[in-house]
Structure 1
Amino acid sequence: MTGLRGTSSGPGTEPLREAAPALGADGPRPARSARPDGYAVLRAGRGSLLLHRRAALVAAVLAVLLSAAVVASLCVGESFVPPSEVVNVLLGRPSPDELVVGTLRLPRLVTGLLVGAAFGVSGALVQTVARNPLASPDVIGVTHGAGAATVAAMTFGVTSYAVLPYVSVVGGLAAALLVYVLAWRGGLHASRFVLIGIGISVALGSLTRLFVTKGDYLVAQQAKVWLTGSLNGRGYDQAAPLATVLVLLVPFLLWAARAQRTAAFDDDTATALGTRLGRTRLGLTALGVVLASVATGAAGPVDFVALLAPQIARRLTRTTHIPLVCSALTGALIVVVADLSARRLLSPLELPVGVFTALVGAPYLMWLIVSTRSSRSGGTA
Structure 2
Amino acid sequence: MSSTAQATASTRRVVFPFTAIVGQEEMKLALLLNVIDPKIGGVMIMGDRGTGKSTTIRALADLLPEIPVVENDPFNSHPSDPELMGDDVRSNVQQGNNVPVVQRKVLMVDLPLGATEDRVCGTIDIEKALSEGVKAFEPGLLAKANRGILYVDEVNLLDDHLVDVLLDSAASGWNTVEREGISIRHPARFVLVGSGNPEEGELRPQLLDRFGMHAEIRTVKEPALRVQIVEQRSEFDQNPNPFLEKYQPQQDELQQRIISAQNLLPSVNLDYDLRVKISEVCADLDVDGLRGDIVTNRAAKAITAFEGRNEVTIDDIRRVITLCLRHRLRKDPLESIDSGYKVEKVFGRIFGVEIPELANASKNGTGIKTGVR
TM-score interval, normalised by the smaller of the two chains: under 0.3
TM-score, normalised with respect to structure 2 = 0.25
For the pair shown, the structure with the greater C-alpha radius of gyration is: 1
More helix by share: 1
